[in-house]
Amino acid sequence: MSEEKVLHPTTIIIFGATGDLAKRKLFPAFYNLYIDGRMPEQFNIVALGRSENTNKNFRNYVVENLENFSRKKGTPKDWSGFKSHITYFQHQLDQEDSYQALNQKLEDLDKAYGTRGNRLFYLSIAPNFITTISNHIKNASLASDPAKDRIIIEKPFGHDKQSAIELNNLLGETFEEEQIYRIDHYLGKETVQNILAFRFGNSIYEPLWNHNYIESVQITVAEEVGVETRGAFYEQTGALIDMVQNHLLQILCMVAMEPPASLESGEIRDRKVDVLKSIRRISADQVSHYAVRGQYGPGIINGVESKGYRQENGIAPDSNTETFAAVKFYLDNERWQDVPFYVRTGKKMKEKHSYITIQFKPLPHSTFSNSSHHLSANRLIINIQPMMDIRLQFMTKKPGLSLVLEPVEMIFDNFACQEDTPEAYETLLLEALLGDLTLFMRSDQVEEAWDVVKTIQESWKNNKDTSFPNYAAGSWGPEDSMELVKRQGHKWV
C-alpha cells in the first residue's frame, strides 16, 4: 500500500512449489510482477519439491503453466528472463539435513549475487506441516535476520481459536510478528482495497456511513464451483471456516471500520480488530436464530446437470459439512448499533458473484408519498467479482411531460477505467516483497475472527443438520437463508 517502500534483493523460497497454488497463482503472480518491472532487480525463486528434478525440467514446467494461468502472456524473452531466476531444489519437509542443505544453497546463492538478500519463505503447503517447517527453519537458522527475513502463510490459519493461538505462539518462537504475513487473498482484490479509498478518500459518504442512515449491510460471496478436487479438505472445513471466518469477516471489517489516522499498517489493522471485537457474541441457543447452514443437492447449473455434494469425490454419503452459510451479525458500537450485517456464501450457487450492498434507510417523510410513485430507498452496491464496479442507486425524474420518478444507477466501472487489473496475489506478493503488512492478518485479527465464529462452529459440529441436502445446485441457497433476512423485513439483493 505504500508506494515509497523499496524493493531489496530477495530470495523467495517456496515450500510446495510443485503444488496447485504455486502453479495457478504464485508463479503467474511473480511473472506478472516481473513483466511489469515490479520484482527486485536481483531475485531468486528457490522452488522446493520432494522429487528429484532438474532446473531445466522445472523451469519448463513453470513456463508451460504460465501459458495457461498467467494474466499477461508476455514474450519468449520474458519467459526466458523470468525462468532464469528459478532454481529447483529437492527437499524433504521433515528432514533436518534437508534444511541444512537448503541453508547451504541459500548461502551459495547469496555469494553468487554478492549480497545477503532478504529471504521470503512462502508456505504453500497443507496446514499440518506449518509446525514442522517453522521448527526446522528455526533449528537451521534459515531466518536469522529479523530485519530481512519474512514468512508468508496461507489460510486456514488454525482450525479454531485455540489452535490459532498455539500456531501464533509457535511462529513467535522463530519470527517476530512483523515478519509474519498471513494471507487472506480477498484483501488483495482490487475492489476490496477500493473500499478504503472510497470511504476515506471522499467527504460525502462518511457522514452517512452509520446507523442513522444505513438500514442494513449485505455481503454475498456466491460461487458457481463445487468442491472440485478438494473434497477431503472441505469435509473437515465447510463454508463457515473456509469463507466466513476469513474472507467475509475481512470484507465486513473494511465496510465497518472507523477511519484510520493514517495508512500505517498497525493503524489500519487496529481499526479492523476493533470491528471484530465489537461483533456481538451469541450463545449456543441463539445460533439457529442468527445463522443458517446449507448443503447442495443435485441440480442444474447453466443448463447442465450437476452432482450433489454427497455424490462428489471424497465426500461421505451422509456428510454433515455445510457448503453454504449465512449469518446475521450485529456490531455493538456507536456507529453500527442495530444495523444488521448479513453475510452469506455458498458453493454451487446460481452464479459466481461477490458483492456488498449498503442499503440506506427510506426517507422519513416523502414529498412524493401521496402519489403513485414507488420510491426505492438509496442503495450502494460494490461489486467485487466478476463485475468490478461501484453503483449508487437513486431516484430521478423520468424525462417527459409528467412528473414520474424512476430509479437509476450511477456507476464507476473498474474495468472501463483499467482493463488490466492485477490479480490479488500480485498485489499481495508485491506488498510482502516491499515489507508492507497492511493487507495481511495480524495474530490478534486472526484470533478474534475465530472467536466471532466460535459458537456457531461448535454448534454446527455437535448438531447434525437432518435437512441436508437443503438447496439445489444452481440455486441461491436454502429457504431458511431467505427467512433469516425476511424476519426483519429485508431481502437479499
What residues are designated binding site?
16-23, 50, 155, 185, 189, 223, 242, 347, 352
In the bound state with ligand BG6, the residue whose beta carbon lies nearer, of 83 and 182, is 182
In the bound state with ligand BG6, the residue whose beta carbon lies nearer, of 29 and 395, is 29
In the bound state with ligand BG6, the residue whose beta carbon lies nearer, of 106 and 195, is 195
344 closest CA partner among 361, 325, 330: 325
CA distances from 349 to 85, 221, 478 (A): 41, 10, 10
Tell me the closest approach of the beta carbon of residue 216 to ligand BG6, in angstroms.
23
In the bound state with ligand BG6, the residue whose beta carbon lies nearer, of 242 and 447, is 242
Q: Enumerate binding residues for ligand BG6 (CB under 6 A).
A: 155, 223, 242
In the bound state with ligand BG6, the residue whose beta carbon lies nearer, of 242 and 426, is 242
Number of CB atoms found within 10 A of residue 253's CB: 23
- In angstroms, the CA 352 to CA 219 distance is 14
Tell me the closest approach of the beta carbon of residue 257 to ligand BG6, in angstroms.
22
- In angstroms, the CA 297 to CA 304 distance is 14
| Cα within 13 Å of Cα(445), Cβ side | 30
SS3 sequence of the chain: CCCCCCCCCEEEEEECCCCHHHHHHHHHHHHHHHHCCCCCCCEEEEEEECCCCCHHHHHHHHHHHHHHHCCCCCCHHHHHHHHCCEEEEECCCCCHHHHHHHHHHHHHHHHHHCCCCEEEEEECCCHHHHHHHHHHHHHCCCCCCCCCEEEEECCCCCCCHHHHHHHHHHHHHHCCHHHEEECCHHHHCHHHHHHHHHHHCCCCCHHHCCCCCEEEEEEEEECCCCCCCCHHHHHCCHHHHHHHHHHHHHHHHHHHCCCCCCCCHHHHHHHHHHHHHHECCCCHHHHHHHEEEECEECEEECCEEECCHHHCCCCCCCCCCCCEEEEEECECCCCCCCCCEEEEEECCECCCEEEEEEEECCCCCCCCCCCCCCCCCCEEEEEEECCCEEEEEEEEECCCCCCCEEEEEEEEEHHHHCCCCCCHHHHHHHHHHHCCCCCCECHHHHHHHHHHHHHHHHHHHHCCCCCCCCEECCECCCHHHHHHHHCCCCCCC
Tell me the closest approach of the beta carbon of residue 252 to ligand BG6, in angstroms.
16
Tell me the closest approach of the beta carbon of residue 240 to ligand BG6, in angstroms.
12
In the bound state with ligand BG6, the residue whose beta carbon lies nearer, of 149 and 223, is 223
Give the distance from CA 440 to its chain's centroid: 10
- Determine which one of 159, 247, 374, 490 is catalytic: 247
Tell me the closest approach of the beta carbon of residue 426 to ligand BG6, in angstroms.
13
Tell me the closest approach of the beta carbon of residue 162 to ligand BG6, in angstroms.
21
In the bound state with ligand BG6, the residue whose beta carbon lies nearer, of 233 and 330, is 233
Binding-site annotation: residue ranges for NADP(+): 16-23, 50, 155
Residue type, 85: H
In the bound state with ligand BG6, the residue whose beta carbon lies nearer, of 378 and 457, is 457
Known catalytic membership, residue 247: yes
Q: Rounded to 5 degrees, what are φ and ψ at 213?
A: -120, -20
Tell me the closest approach of the beta carbon of residue 155 to ligand BG6, in angstroms.
6
Which residue in this structure is represented by grid cell 452517512? 208
Q: State which residue has the least CB distance to ligand BG6.
A: 242
Tell me the closest approach of the beta carbon of residue 189 to ligand BG6, in angstroms.
7
Residues acting as catalytic residues: 247
